[in-house]
């Protein structure tokens, strides 16, 4: 399959690019949960989207693990986005 923007960003190894992408993805995830916050009628569509969000969160965690320790200073804005 085609790489997502997040996958491409992680593979670039560029902390600025990764941080910006994580901020965008995190905002999208927050909007997703906010939009379903008041819906008790969770259906298959919601479950599928929730599962996709779980996969994306896994990628976000993986991207944090990709940072070398000597670049810890770039982790602060990155982890703040999460």
| SS3 category, 1 | coil
Q: Which domain holds residue 67?
A: 5-81
Contacts of 66 (CB under 8 A, 6+ apart): 10, 13, 18
Q: What is the pTM of this model?
A: 0.57
Name the domain count of the chain: 1
**% of the chain exceeding 90 in pLDDT:** 0
Higher pLDDT, 70 or 28: 28
What confidence tens digit (pLDDT) does each residue in 48-61 have?
Answer: 888 888 888 887 77
């Amino acid at each position: 399959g085609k790489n997502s923007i997040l996958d491409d960003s992680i593979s670039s190894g560029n902390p600025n690019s990764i941080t910006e992408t994580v901020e965008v993805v995190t905002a999208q995830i927050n909007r997703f949960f906010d939009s379903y916050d008041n819906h008790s009628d969770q259906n298959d569509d919601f479950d599928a989207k929730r599962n996709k969000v779980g996969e994306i969160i896994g990628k976000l965690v993986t991207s944090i693990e990709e940072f070398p320790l000597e670049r810890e200073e770039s982790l602060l804005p990155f982890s703040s986005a999460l």
